[in-house]
Amino acid sequence: MTEILMAWLLNKLKRHRYIGGKHTDTINVRKGADPQDYPEIEDIIKDLVKSGNILAKPTSYGKHISLNPRLIKEIDVFIQKHLTEVKF
């Protein structure tokens, strides 16, 4: 389930074009998911920041994230691999 949520999160960031300089709040990213998954999504965000797939931008009004533009091809492969298994 974690990989599916991770692929869902990455796909959402990509669909809204939050790549590089365009970023969004971590609270906005989890909208659309089941509220029971919110803690797991926060953990996934932390893991993706550590791995470098997501860039974190600390702002005066909260933590914002965006996709790493250098890893878009790898992110696309991950999304296609895991989101085609299960349809939402």
pLDDT digits (tens, 9 = 90+) for 10-33: 999 999 999 998 999 999 999 999
* pLDDT of res. 1: 67
Model confidence band, residue 86 (pLDDT cutoffs 50, 70, 90): low
For residue 75, pLDDT over 70 is answered with yes
* pLDDT of res. 84: 77
In percent, the amount of the chain with pLDDT more than 90 equals 80
Encoded amino acid at 48, one letter: L
Distance, CA of 31 to CA of 59 (rounded, Å):
20
Distance, CA of 69 to CA of 87 (rounded, Å):
26
* Domains defined along the chain, listed by start: 2-83 (1.10.10.10)
The reported pTM is: 0.89
